[in-house]
Chains A and B, each alone.
Chain A
Amino acid sequence: MTSLSEEVLLVVKKVRQKKQDGTLYLMAERIAWGPEGKDRFTVSHLYADIRCQKISPDGKAKVQLQLVLHTGESTTFHFANESTALKDREAAKELLQQLLPKFKKKANKELEEKNRMLQEDPVLFQLYKDLVVSQVISAEEFWANRSGGINNTDPSPYNNKQEVGISGAFLADIRPQTDGCNGLRYNLTADIIESIFRTYPAVKQKYSENVPHNLTEKEFWTRFFQSHYFHRDRINTGTQDIFSECAKQDEKGLKTLVTQGVKNPLVDLQSLEDKTLDEGYGICTTQPSTSNANKSVKDSSNSAIIKRFNHHSAMVLAAGSRRGELASDQASETSSTDGNSRDSDFFQPPVKKVKLQEAIEFEDLQRENRPKTVPLNLKKSDRYAHGPVPLQSQQYTTSQDIINSVNYIRHEMASYKPSLTQVLSSTAATSAIAALSPGGVLMQGGAQQAINQMVPTEVQGELKHLYVAAGELLRHFWSCFPVNTLFLEEKLTGHLEEMLQTAYSKFQVWQTRRMMRKT
């Protein structure tokens, strides 16, 4: 199984694993360990499978390195070369430190994908729990069978799912708590951070500019909450705060939004008035407009709040619909940038026409044009909900038949004469009554129909899970045919049988439990 072409990056001798001396090899894609004197690796982990490495504290007697795998297992290596143990370990650690992140992304992606599949598909999740967690089959085998699903299928159907918008009040959800000594604690969750980034791209930019290099994540958010930017009622006084730039960018964004104008001419307040009075005419019944110079500080802070609210709402709204509109936005942008006003005239009318038509429409004054439909009128809604009554299609009777039969019956009734000499015997009559009364032979049909009500739901659920799990195992079983490799044969004779056995015993357990419950 070892291919010799692998490049060996580091060899460390005298490494013990499970109290056995051996040699540790670090290769391009995996880490392996083989016991001394043998040319076979007993331990081999792909870097992609490794979640992290842990090292023993410096003061400890044993110099150890532990690898934790994604599956939760771990392997511990003990560096036993007395003189260079620490150095060896450091070398291995350093190298791993460089190598692991490279593979991590790939691994993470796969893992994420698996995680997502499990989360999105409750049946699969249950299956996973039944088979993998209860160790009927291993995780690899479980996924091997589905790997087609992970790697091959186009990811687009998954990405198509509706994106969750942002709550308008996400900033309000960050409630500061006092920690008792003149400090404030803000609790940030990943969701909130995501919301902040999506709503305020400027902050995201700041974050990616600063965080790994200049500031730690914590510092960044601390500054964020201290900034004037966060507290919108304070006026930006132009400090060297890193967020003052964000505020400026926001302002710019708001301005471009404003200058872009509105698409719907009916809400364009600027072109609403046909003829504004010239300067100097008219009376100002409202309070005279104050010039900016003598506006009090309070006024301008108030208007800053108002601006920020408008901006915030617009951004939240945009964040919710950004993805879908990207393409159409670009299209409209190109048309509006190259179009001078003459061109925009040509573009405008369709929107305007539609809006105007909408505005003058009186839907209730018009006779409805669409074909008249019969409204669904449910007399007994439960009958509608519980599916159709079984009915043989051949025996479908036309209304003419019904009328005929009614006439016939009426005729029969009219000419009916009891002949008391030829009535049933009393025994036959009682048996017929018995058969027709509840519990009788003829009345069992009604009881059988409710099998889903007879069995308690949890038992049903269990049975369902067992059924699905057994189905999955059988799928594994059949997928082994034709048996053309050694591995498959091994799988078939070896543990698959074992697996089926386990499944069967599980079923047994379930059944006995059920029986016990019943009695």
Chain B
Amino acid sequence: MKLNIEGLLVYFPYDYIYPEQYSYMLELKRTLDAKGHGVLEMPSGTGKTISLLSLIVAYQRAFPLEVTKLIYCSRTVPEIEKVVEELRKLMEFYTKETGESNNFLALALSSRKNLCIHPEVSSLRFGKEVDGKCHSLTASYVRAQHHSNPNLPVCRFYEEFDSVGRQVPLPAGIYNLDDLKAFGRRKGWCPYYLARYSILHANIVVYSYHYLLDPKIADLVSKELAKKSVVVFDEAHNIDNVCIDSMSVNITRRTLDRCQTNVDTLQNTIHKIKETDAAKLREEYRRLVEGLKEANVARETDIYLANPVLPDEILQEAVPGSIRTAEHFVGFMRRFLEYLKSRLRVQHVVQESAPQFLKDIFEKVCIDRKPLRFCAERLQSLLRTLEIADIADFSAVTLISNFATLVSTYSQGFTIIIEPFEDRTPTIANPVLHFSCMDPSIAIKPVFQRFQSVVITSGTLSPLDIYPRILDFRPVTMASFTMTLARTCLCPLIVGRGNDQVALSSKFETREDFAVIRNYGNLLLEMSAIVPDGIVAFFTSYVYMENIVASWYEQGILENIQRNKLIFIETQDAAETSMALEKYQEACENGRGAILLSVARGKVSEGIDFVHHYGRAVIMFGVPYVYTQSRILKARLEYLRDQFQIRENDFLTFDAMRHAAQCVGRAIRGKTDYGLMIFADKRYARADKRGKLPRWIQEHINDGSLNLTVDEAVQLSKHFLRQMAQPFRQEDQLGLSLLTLEQLESEEMLQKITQIAHQT
């Protein structure tokens, strides 16, 4: 259908539309019009992606000079591929309606592991290996040597791409990962480099967060993306953690040992090169004297995305003299390394700020702040000069140099914690230096600054106002949309008591309590008897799950559950869990029914959807608080309190509730879907917890279902499931939660739609 969104003609590739989709597009358009940032929460399964794509593509067509590019960031590879498929559908609709093939270029970009077509390289299992091998075949000096010595292996796909691939741009169309590979095979070009090259002129780029948020990758891939782009972070409820992760560094004794070997290798290579090819080193020196002017010019003219690791100031200066020659730099690294080693020899926990650390390092080994800041840049230059084949081997020294640059650049937002041993095993020395970022805004700041519109969206972003605060930006629109429903297809229940009136809770004091564990088991057992097909149960942590499973086994509860359904359990091994997951789906598929025991914050809870019969009920055992005893977390909480005025408890609850919402939201993936959401902890009944759930879940919790016993929950569930099992047709939805174009245009409906968006 063709929609009129405040004067913009939007092609929408379906015959019907959900009211909230229309509302969502309205808000999105306002965000784009204002050239500002937005935070939009819309329940999963209401067609968020297609609404986003429809509107932004329409906008791009209408105002090609205002918005030149859409950068769509998602979380996992399947999600990226899903987005591209939806886009394909939209484009097919455009072609059908307008009768002309449009010249849109859209493509997905992923790591080499998912794109490589080189027979040997792509057969490697791990992404890191693929990257390393690829680098050893495509690095510039390897190829230069290949000219003189044709026996040296190079990647023929890259060679082919390099010689002809850049001349003609990728023909317009929609390229998913497999399409890129097919295209690459046909042409004999490397799909990965082709994609990386093509994102510069593509209209739509779909890739993972890391390509924009992780400075190490963003610098390589996304540096030159146009300023007039719209950036969308989908499934962004965890974006702050991604930011923090990309800026934090952990250094163990093992890292230092490996770094030591790296430095030795560097020194030997320098010696060798000095004997054979001293000119190369002199050339490097000259380059360093001239400084990083090029990069500086580029950034000033706004061509490059700023790199938070490479702060503006250092671009204006040349590399300081003390580390300009290769030998001096290696010596410098050695000193720094020795210092770190000495710091790891502590007997007690140390926590200090970056300035304290710098002061200490200056006093102890006379290392100045300035050369430290150039460390990362200097090392890259050296590695290039020395023609190191396998970069992967030098990950340790790269890590240390990145740390050096970071610690000397940011005086705020980071903390250094040195722990001589793990808390649980105080006798075993295992010193770790955590250099942890506490301010997610540092990593995401360049994105907000550079691109004209950044949209943060997800099914669970509540409470909305916390994201602008922790990411430090000023949105022009913030809205939360509900799910209009013709039938109440979700049934949130808070089970606070067992049948014996024992309060159910996963809180620390009652964690080992047998009565609680038994009642939890009872809840699962009863549910397994009445819920058809699949049940997913989430625990607060892996250790907690292990303990509960063990005691359920001892009490014979699991055996009784097995009479009703098969049991599959998430393990810490990803491959094993994948297997269990597939078997779980198979068991749901063939009608036997199964239970999946899983962990909140685990991979399953974040990346796997349980549509329809794969998840008819989700049980959340306990409130998934983060492990609060960790010093890093404590430091972060302190920082949040001081900098953003967010109270510790507020943040912890917010964090726990967003994960709980993520978990239970896995079961509902659309309006025809239905599922129970059981919160098995009495603390969910409190207003401060409940109020932090997304609005579309909160609305359906009525006062009667706040503190149920297991039996009561079973009764309610039975009733709900029986109702949901009745046939549900399109006609039932029409006019309520599903609209035709005529219905949409009616005055009355438009009025209703304005109520769907909940502005904050």
Q: Which residues of A contact B (CB under 8 A)?
A: 165, 167-169, 171-172, 232-233, 254, 257-259, 261-290, 294, 298-299, 301-303, 305-307, 309-310, 313-314, 316-317, 320-321, 340-342, 345, 349, 352, 356-357, 359-360, 362-368
B738 touches A280 (CB 8 A): no
Query: How far apart sit A48 and B422, CA to CA, in the bound complex (Å)?
Result: 76
**Chain B positions within 8 Å of A360 at CB level:** 49-50, 82, 85-86, 89
A-B contact count (CB 8 A): 257
Contact (Cβ within 8 A) A365 B738: yes
Q: Min CB distance, B228 to chain A, in Å?
A: 25
Structural contact, A310 and B592, CB atoms closer than 8 A:
no
10 contacts between A and B (CB under 8 A): A172-B559, A275-B127, A282-B246, A283-B245, A287-B627, A288-B422, A313-B580, A314-B580, A317-B583, A365-B738
Distance in Å: Cβ of A229 to nearest Cβ of chain B: 15
Closest 4 CB pairs of A and B: A172-B559, A274-B208, A169-B562, A365-B14
Which residue of A has the minimal Cβ distance to B630? A285
Report chain B residues within 8 Å CB of A301: 550
- Asked if residues A302 and B550 are in contact (CB atoms below 8 Å), the reply is yes
B576 touches A310 (CB 8 A): yes
B117 surroundings in chain A (CB, below 8 A): 342, 345
Within 8 Å by CB of B592, from A165, A266, A290, lies: A165
User: Which one of B425, B575, B611 lies within 8 Å of A261 (CB-CB)?
Assistant: B575
CB distance from A256 to the nearest CB of B (A): 10
In the complex, are the beta carbons of A275 and B550 less than 8 A apart? no
Contact of A264 among B119, B558, B582 (CB under 8 A): B582
**Secondary structure at chain B's binding surface: helix, strand, loop or mixed?**
helix
A278→B578 contact, CB < 8 A: no
Q: Report the Cα distance A303→B571, complex, angstroms.
A: 8
Interface stretch of the complex, out of B194-202, B462-470, B539-547, B691-699: B539-547
- Chain A residue numbers with a CB within 8 Å of B577 are 269
B residues 646-673 touching A (CB-CB < 8 Å): 670-672
Cα distance, A173 to B410, chains bound together (Å): 64
Question: Is B173 among interface residues, defined by CB-CB distance under 8 A?
Answer: no
B670–A362 CB distance below 8 A: yes
Check B181–A316 contact: CB distance below 8 A.
no
Q: Which residues of A contact B178 (CB under 8 A)?
A: 349, 352
For B436, what are the chain A residues with a Cβ–Cβ distance below 8 Å?
Answer: 283
Asked if A280 contacts B395 (CB within 8 A), the reply is: yes
Question: Looking across the interface, which residue of chain A has its beta carbon closest to that of B78?
Answer: A266
Also in contact, A356 and B122, with CB within 8 A (given A169-B559, A269-B581, A364-B672): no
Q: Which residues on the A side are within 8 Å of B49 (C-beta)?
A: 360
Contacts of B80 in A (CB 8 A): 274
Q: How far is the CB of B286 from chain A (nearest CB, A)?
A: 32
* In the complex, chain B residues whose CB is within 8 Å of the CB of A349: 178
Nearest-neighbor residue (CB-CB) of A270 within chain B: B574
Interface pick from B273-281, B376-384, B601-609: B601-609
In the assembly, what is the distance between CA of A443 and CA of B308, in Å? 98
Smallest CB gap from B83: residue in A: A360
Tally of contact residues, B, Cβ under 8 A: 115
Instruction: Give min CB distance, B697 to chain A, whole Å.
Output: 21
Of B17, B592, B672, the residue contacting A317 (CB under 8 A) is: B592
In the complex the two chains form, is B671's CB within 8 Å of A364's CB?
Answer: yes
B182 nearest in chain A by CB position:
A349
Contacts of B361 in A (CB 8 A): none
Give chain B interface residues in 188-237, CB to chain A under 8 Å: 207-208, 210-211, 214, 216-217
A274-B110, A287-B543, A342-B122 given; A168·B566 CB < 8 A: yes
Across the interface, B85 reaches (CB within 8 A) one of A254, A294, A299, A357, namely A357
- Cβ of B705 < 8 Å from any Cβ of A? no
Residue from B127, B603, B672 with most neighbouring chain A CB atoms (10 Å): B127
Which of B34-42, B163-171, B249-257, B290-298 faces chain A? B249-257
Cβ–Cβ < 8 Å partners of B82 in chain A: 356, 359-360
B760 CB to nearest chain A CB (Å): 28
Q: B residues touching A (Cβ–Cβ < 8 Å)? A: 14-18, 47, 49-50, 76-78, 80-82, 85-86, 89, 110-111, 113-114, 117, 119, 122-123, 127-128, 178, 181, 207-208, 210-211, 214, 216-217, 241, 244-246, 248-252, 255, 395-396, 399, 422, 424-425, 428, 432, 434, 436-437, 541-543, 546-547, 549-550, 553-554, 556, 558-560, 562-569, 571-583, 585-587, 590, 592, 594, 601, 603-604, 607-609, 611, 626-627, 630, 632-633, 670-672, 730, 733, 738
Min Cβ gap A363→B in Å is 6
- On whether A267 and B559 interact (CB within 8 A), knowing A286-B541, A306-B546, A307-B571, the answer reads no
Cα–Cα, bound, A264→B214 (Å): 29
- B422 nearest CB across to chain A (Å): 5
Assess whether A277 is in contact with B246, with CB atoms less than 8 Å apart: yes
* A168 contacts across to B, CB distance below 8 A: 562-567, 592
Q: Determine whether the beta carbon of A309 is less than 8 Å from that of B574.
A: no
Residues of A within 8 A of B562 (CB): 167-169, 172
Asked whether A313 lies within 8 Å of B14 as measured between CB atoms, the reply is no
The residue of chain A having its C-beta at the shortest distance from the C-beta of B672 within the complex is A364
Question: Which chain A residue lies CB-closest to B582?
Answer: A262
Give B521 Cβ to nearest chain A Cβ, in Å. 14
Interface pair B590/A285, CB less than 8 Å apart: no
Within 8 Å CB of B434, what residues of A? 283
Please report the C-alpha to C-alpha distance between residue A257 and residue B207 in the assembled complex, in whole angstroms.
31
A359 closest partner in B (C-beta):
B82
* A309 touching B569, Cβ below 8 Å: yes
Q: Which of chain B's residues have a CB closer than 8 A to the CB of A277?
A: 214, 245-246
Contact A281 B568 (CB under 8 A): no
> Out of B210, B244, B578, which one reaches A268, CB within 8 Å?
B578
Complex: A282 Cα to B244 Cα, angstroms: 7
Q: How far does the alpha carbon of A283 sit from the alpha carbon of B630 in the complex, in Å?
A: 11
Whether A302 contacts B85 by the Cβ 8 Å rule is no
Residue from B110, B547, B609 within 8 A of A302 (CB atoms): B547
For B608, list chain A residues within 8 Å (CB).
Answer: 266-267, 269
Given contacts A265-B78, A286-B627, are A365 and B16 in contact (CB under 8 A)?
yes
B592 with A274: CB separation less than 8 A: no
Given known A-B contacts A364-B16, A365-B15, A313 and B568 have beta carbons under 8 A apart: yes
When distances are taken between beta carbons in the complex, the residues of chain A under 8 Å from B586 are 317, 321
Q: Is the CB of B565 within 8 A of A294?
A: no
Q: How far is the CB of B362 from chain A (nearest CB, A)?
A: 25
Residues on the B chain within 8 Å of A363, using CB:
672
Of the listed residues A277, A282, A306, the one surrounded by the most CB atoms of chain B closer than 10 A to its CB is A306
Bound together, the chains give a CA A282 to CA B242 distance in angstroms of: 9
Q: Which residues of A contact B550 (CB under 8 A)?
A: 233, 298, 301-302, 305
CA distance A309 to B566 in the complex (A): 9
Which residues of the partner chain B approach A352 to less than 8 Å between Cβ atoms?
81, 178
B250 touches A283 (CB 8 A): yes
State in angstroms the CA–CA spacing of A409 and B663 once bound together.
Answer: 70
Q: How far is the CB of B298 from chain A (nearest CB, A)?
A: 25
Q: A169-B563, A281-B249, A368-B730 are in contact. Are A310 and B571 (CB under 8 A)?
A: yes
Q: How far is the CA of A233 from the CA of B553 in the complex (A)?
A: 8
A289 neighbours in B (Cβ, 8 Å): 572
Q: A306-B571, A317-B586 are in contact. Are A269 and B207 (CB under 8 A)?
A: no
CB contact under 8 A between A356 and B81, given known A269-B578, A275-B217, A281-B248: yes
Is the CB–CB distance between B119 and A340 below 8 Å? yes
Complex contact A366–B590 (CB within 8 A): no
Q: A261-B575, A262-B578, A356-B81 are in contact. Are A362 and B594 (CB under 8 A)?
A: no
With A272-B78, A356-B82, A359-B609 in contact, do A342 and B123 touch (Cβ < 8 Å)? yes
Of A254, A265, A287, A294, most B-chain CB atoms within 10 Å: A287
CB–CB A362/B14 < 8 A: yes
Once A268-B578, A277-B245 are accepted as A-B contacts, the answer to whether A233 and B85 lie under 8 Å apart by CB is no
- Cα of A232 to Cα of B569 in the assembled complex, Å: 15
A-B contact sample (11 more), CB < 8 A, given A309-B568, A314-B579, A349-B178: A168-B566, A275-B211, A285-B633, A287-B424, A309-B558, A309-B569, A310-B580, A317-B592, A320-B592, A341-B122, A364-B733
- CA of A272 to CA of B208, assembled, Å: 11
